[in-house]
Amino acid sequence: MSAGEAPAGENAAMLIDADNLSATAIEHAFAHLARQGLRATLRRAYGGHEKLAGMKDCLLRHGVRSLVNHGKGTTDALLVVDAMDLLHEGRMPPVVAIASSDGDFAPLALRLREAGHWVICFAQSGKSADVDLTRCYDQLVSVEGAPAASEAPPAPARAARKTPARKKAKPAEPPPPPMPADPVRELLEGLDGFRQGREIAMNEVVKRLRDAKLLGKSASGPAFLRKRAPYLELSSNHLRLKQ
């Protein structure tokens, strides 16, 4: 990571190159924004239809809007054009996170910095040239992608023995991927006043949980939160973070 961090409490845009990052890397990027105290108010992912469909659950969980490219090799242009539209319309938040290991976004990062924005790069480990990217971004964060299954080397041959045959041991299963960040906590931390312990309207939280596909249409919001968020104080109409 490069020196310095974006000021906590600012609104941020998360622009994701879905052709370049895995769903696991995207989960880690959102978790890092939350830990840094940034609220991602604008969330967009750009890529081919198949790639976006493959990470549908991740994008829905974080309320990310998907923009399909216009054919192979057009994802970068789509992201840049959309970012410049947001900039010129005055809708780009103070902090901009570009989730991609692609050095082709360096000119965009420099242009956004000239406009006074703090620009973060979330680059997947093993895919980026870190030295080049640190020159263009205010902050470079390396995020882990999906772990590949380990391949065990073949066991050395043993001399034959006149012993009863034994059953072959089952090959060890690869370790499970890391658990994603708590989507309920991330959603709550995006609400104004939550971190400061102020009361939040229960109706607003329930609506956001349903919009993010975390809560079913007929499910009880308070019951869901009692089970999934023990760090909350709940009343009939409000909730807040326990002090």
Which single residue is written with the structure tokens 């971004």? Answer: 137
pLDDT at 21 over 80: yes
Residues 44 and 112 both lie in one domain: yes
Residues 130 and 216 both lie in one domain: no
Residues 136 and 195 both lie in one domain: no
Which single residue is written with the structure tokens 């880690």? Answer: 28
pLDDT at 159 over 80: no
Per-residue pLDDT at 109: 95
Mean pLDDT of all residues belonging to the chain? 84
Give long-range contacts, CB 8 A cutoff, 24+ apart: 196-205: 197/240, 197/241, 197/243, 198/240, 199/238, 199/239, 199/240, 200/238, 200/239, 200/240, 201/237, 201/238, 202/234, 202/235, 202/236, 202/237, 202/238, 202/239, 203/237, 205/239
Q: Of 117, 143, 169, which one is at a domain's C-terminal end?
A: 143
The answer as to whether 165 is a domain residue is no
Range(s) of the domain holding residue 211: 183-241
Give the type of residue at 223: A
Residues 22 and 138 both lie in one domain: yes
Residues 115 and 217 both lie in one domain: no
Quick: pLDDT tens for 48-105. Answer: 999 999 999 999 999 999 999 998 889 999 999 999 999 999 999 999 999 998 888 9
Residues 136 and 202 both lie in one domain: no
User: pTM (2 decimals)?
Assistant: 0.57
User: CA torsion sign, 223 to 227 to 228 to 229?
Assistant: positive
Quick: pLDDT tens for 91-148. Answer: 999 999 999 988 889 999 999 999 999 999 999 877 655 556 788 899 999 998 754 3
The residues, any chain, with a CB within 8 Å of residue 180's CB and separated by 6 or more, are 24, 27, 31, 58, 61
Q: How many domains does the chain have?
A: 2
Residues 139 and 24 both lie in one domain: yes
The answer as to whether 164 is a domain residue is no
Instruction: Read off the CATH number of the domain in which 24 is found.
Output: 3.40.50.1010
Residue, of 195 and 53, whose pLDDT is higher: 53
pLDDT at 45 over 90: yes
